[in-house]
Amino acid sequence: MRKNSARRLAVVAFAAALVVPLSGCFTAFIPPKEDTSSSTPKPQPTTTGTSADEFYAQDVEWSNDACPSGFECATVRAPMNWDDPEAGEIELALIRSKAQGDPIGSLLVNPGGPGGSGFDFVKDSLDYAVDADLKKNFDIVGFDPRGVGRSTAVSCYEPEQMDEYLYGLPENSDVGSDAWIDEMTTSATEFGEACLDNTGPLLEFITTVQAAKDLDLLRAVLGDDELYYLGYSYGTFLGATYAELFPDKVGRLVLDGAIDPSKSNFEVSKAQAKGFEGALSAFLKDCIDNNSECAFSGSVDKAKETISELIESVGESPLRGPDGRMLGSSTLTTAIILPLYSPNSWEYLNVMLADVMDGDATNAFYFADQYNGRNEDGTYQDNSTEAFMAYNCRDYPYDDDPATMEKQAKEIAEAAPVFGPSLGYGDISCANWPFTDSAERNEIHAEGADPIMVVGTTGDPATPYEWAENLAEQLESGQLVTYEGEGHTAYNKGSQCVNDVVDEYLITGIMPDDDPKCS
């Protein structure tokens, strides 16, 4: 049963060299990172009688043992539930690259997700996460939020079960029918029950509010009076939530690829569908105009019709991949979306689409596997899918009324004819989560906070530019920095203007008076 048939796309800036950022990371044809699925078992919540003050008083013991060369690693204890610190505790995994000069302090970095590993982001892609000026002036600290990676983590399915959940074909292909909804509801319920069984009581407390309180704990135990923070994509929501909860502790926050915290699940799905539709149009125009080997010719609209027909055709007659898995419409949609995150991968998207039109699903599965963090041997690189679901199911309210979902699905499909049909009915998954008292979505103002920089890319498919405009407007001290270009997030992606503005603010505290409108 297909998770992607009834869920919203991940919005993550997750990195390796020439990244296509998403929930599985990696650009086209970049080798996957080392499989850690058989590494040391994940820590589990433990009981404690510790008060919140005692957590703040702990010492961080950095070590080079079992840590990659050039880095230091540490573990910090946090309450499982900040509203009841004595109920149990969890562990948060950190990695640090020491400043090459005299450090201003620690710069905490979050790559997005939700579910992205900041530990791996810094370990594997330090030069992508920050530039040389930031490495010189800050201790760069990557961390795995609660529920993620090396921290006390969410766990749901074994690899074989995850394969069926992610790639399995639905028995009922009539999307939106009663039988299809029943099948998706059963799949979502079983997944949520497995997450609760295998994760335990922590699952209830996988929320961005709880993670933001963890972030303040990290600030304090690292010895910083104020938070210095660089958050990408979902990391902007984590950073903005921190500013709302701890405005007096805001030092310098950069929120790149911003999420509008006031948007509903439906509004997010519709905006993302339109964003990827726009990125697809940009790819096709570039391909038709500039690539002599483009798989398409004529107009962009005609090419988009061809892609829609291709997605529909594999839904009706799936293609067998090299390992026996069947490529259906939802997996192909995932495979198309992944390389749209970065123009650097558009040429590979052209190759993949040409292959599928020739009946070859090999590269389509490659892209989908990168999205989902699946290794060639069928294991999974991390728990990003499970953590993604856990956070989103607790951070948004959901309504699985069939009439409401049908109306919204039609609106999304009309707004984005290629991708919209795959992004409807997204409330099913989380409306059947074990904990349904989800947060309301509201504007974040962070009254009293020092200036906060919000970076938005005009052609960002995953976090549309209007979200950055909205967040900068909502924040009492927000300042918008616009990058006029394509791709997801802007800092350290090739614009010297963006890099200069961000670096100057983080290092000196100087914020531009007006939007510099970088290109």
Q: Which residues are catalytic?
A: 233, 460, 488
- Classified as helix, coil or strand, 388 is helix
Number of H helices, E strands in the chain: 17, 12
Candidates 489, 494, 364, 491; CA nearest to 11 is 489
- Residue 315, C-beta contacts closer than 8 angstroms, at least 6 positions apart: 173, 328, 329, 330
With tokens 């044809």, the residue in question is 29
Question: Computed from CA positions of residues 136, 137, 139, 141, in that sequence, does the dihedral angle turn out positive or negative?
Answer: negative
Distance CA 155, CA 158 (A): 9
Burial 345-354 (b: 16+ CB within 10 A, else e): bbbbbbebbe
Residue among 166, 132, 173 at smallest CA distance from 311: 173
Contact 470, 261 (CB under 8 A): no
Helix 300-316 × helix 329-337 angle, to 10°: 140
Lookup: tokens for 340: 């749209």
Residue identified by tokens 């997944």 is 191
Alpha carbon 136 to its chain centroid, in Å, reads 27
| DSSP reduced 3-state for 296 | coil
Burial class (CB in 10 A: 0-12, 13-18, 19+), 153: buried
Residue 7 CA to residue 164 CA, distance in Å, equals 15
Please list the alpha-helical segments (H only) found in 29-98: 52-56
